[in-house]
Structure 1
Amino acid sequence: MSEIATSSPSTSLVNAKWDVVISNGIVKSGLGFGAGVLASVLFFRRRAFPVWLGLGFGLGRAYSEGDSIFREAGIREVKA
């Protein structure tokens, strides 16, 4: 007599949005990291700051897009 736990539509929506946000974060930070490595090798004589800068830009872009995704879904609201 085991009952199967079904998730509500809102839980499924939140899980789907989190999947998109996390995958977006991985992709954007990877692209930023790669661009930073490339810039470091080509232009800055293998210094570390372009790598960290590219990673920061990638994570910031992923954060802003994730915030937008949650606002469109009505999960996160901004109080004025």
Structure 2
Amino acid sequence: MLVDDIREWRRRNKYTQDALALALGVSRQTVVGWEKSEYPPSTLIQLALLALENLPEKCSLVAGSRLSSSEQRHARQKNSMAD
């Protein structure tokens, strides 16, 4: 596996579970499952984690990966009103 410990990776890179889920396009429950070793992340997700770690300024512009939980909720509400 390219990324052995998702929880350690997330903490080292200052992502909440919600922020990481948003950046990767998965649910928070999926991130929890990875952290509990219920199932491994796909190779594509592992590559995305490497990209987030090595290209954070570019990835955060695309995915909003560094948003706090309240900022994420606000963004979701704003997006849902726009639809």
TM-score interval, normalised by the smaller of the two chains:
under 0.3
Q: TM-score if structure 2 supplies the norm length?
A: 0.24
Pick 1 or 2: higher relative contact order, CA cutoff 8 A, min separation 6: 2
Considering only CA atoms, is the larger Rg found in Structure 1 or Structure 2?
A: 1
Q: Normalising by structure 1, what TM-score? A: 0.25
